[in-house]
Amino acid sequence: MRLLQRIPSVHTFNMLVQNLSGIILLLFLYQHGAEAKTTVTCEGGSAYLSCDGGGIKVLKANYGRTDRTTCISGRPANQISNTHCLRETSLHTMSARCDGKSSCTVPAVNSVFSDPCYGTYKYLDVSYDCIPTKRSVTCENTESVIACDGGFIKVLKANYGRTDSTTCISGRPANQISNTHCFRETSLHTMSARCDGSKSCSVPAVNSVFSDPCVGTYKYLDVSYYCIPAKRSVTCESTQSVIFCDTGVISVHHANYGRRDLVTCPHKFATPPHCDSPQTSSLRSRCNGRTSCQLNASNSVFSDPCQGVYKYLEVMYSCI
């Protein structure tokens, strides 16, 4: 893999970011000498992804057909002639099923991905890497603390509920641990909003934060995450700053306008400490692909997520 030295346009760069599901991760893998794994599964079969150490991170995926040579045995010409068959949601589907797991199996069938090109014989083409992951399990009504000694947190998967009858069971009656199909689908969103881009974060494993997915069951918060290197820029409210790259171009990993602690940009109106307004998409469109980018931390640009609180714009980025 060679690092990008020239970016033809911001549009092209943004497409690259979308297709690879986070170019920051690719930089991390490049720096550590990792090579992506690939698997191709003909329609009707099942794709098997596995990592002997660490967790799966799907980099790209397509259920469809982009050539006339893959999975063609016994197929008539009319079933392999369409080489522009793409299912844009393939990456999302594979990531949801596999990211953070040590192994996963996904059927390459229309019922999983839906049919992007009727009459064409398709295949599932996946590229993924095995990344060093950390796991945190926190019993209900206690505090989950996750941290990265170097780099910043990126949450891979999270669930507040119960999926086994062995975790967090001390002193609990059988009826509180018997339900092992208890999921809170929004757990990943909640943890990502609170923790992504931070060096450490603390989240209570309580119903008031995640809501109760199974009343009467004693739950736990199970989180998988990895630590990713990045630069951090903080711009206090009503001020401006510039992020830049001496070499390469900017790729924004995470951005938030609000307040997550009482230490950054100290001010007499610095409470409450949890005021989130994610701005990752906005900052990517403004800054990705450029060598420098001016930031204006103001309500007129990002709107006011918490009136009366003195905010700051926090941006995590790398130079590609």
Position 33 scores a pLDDT of 41
CATH number of this structure's domain 134-228, picked from the four choices 2.60.120.740, 1.10.760.10, 3.90.850.10, 3.30.565.10: 2.60.120.740
Indicate the domain borders of the chain: 36-131, 134-228, 231-319
Position 253 scores a pLDDT of 81
Non-local CB neighbours of 279 within 8 Å, separated by 6+ positions: 255, 256, 257, 302, 313
Position 44 scores a pLDDT of 97
Position 261 scores a pLDDT of 86
Q: Which two tokens stand for residue 184?
A: 């809170």
3-state helix, strand, coil split of the chain in percent (to 5) is: 20, 35, 45
State the architecture of 231-319 in CATH terms.
Sandwich (2.60)
pLDDT tens string, the chain, 320 residues long: the values are 343 334 344 444 334 433 433 444 544 444 444 468 999 999 999 999 999 877 888 989 999 999 999 999 999 999 999 999 999 999 999 988 998 888 999 999 999 999 999 999 999 999 998 888 899 999 999 999 999 886 778 888 899 999 999 999 999 999 999 999 999 999 999 999 898 877 899 999 999 999 999 999 999 999 999 887 778 899 999 999 999 988 778 878 889 999 988 889 998 887 766 888 999 889 989 998 899 999 999 999 999 999 999 999 999 887 76
The whole-angstrom separation of Cα 167 and Cα 64 is 40
Q: Which two tokens stand for residue 167?
A: 């975790």
pTM higher than 0.75: no
Q: Which two tokens stand for residue 131?
A: 């990344």
Cβ-count burial 154-184 (b if 16+ within 10 Å, e if not)? bbbbbbbbbeeeeebbeeeeeebbebeebeb
Position 113 scores a pLDDT of 97
Position 150 scores a pLDDT of 67
What topology does CATH give the domain 36-131?
A: Jelly Rolls (2.60.120)
Domain 36-131 matches domain 134-228 at the CATH topology level: yes
8 Å CB contact between 278 and 194: no
Non-local CB neighbours of 263 within 8 Å, separated by 6+ positions: none
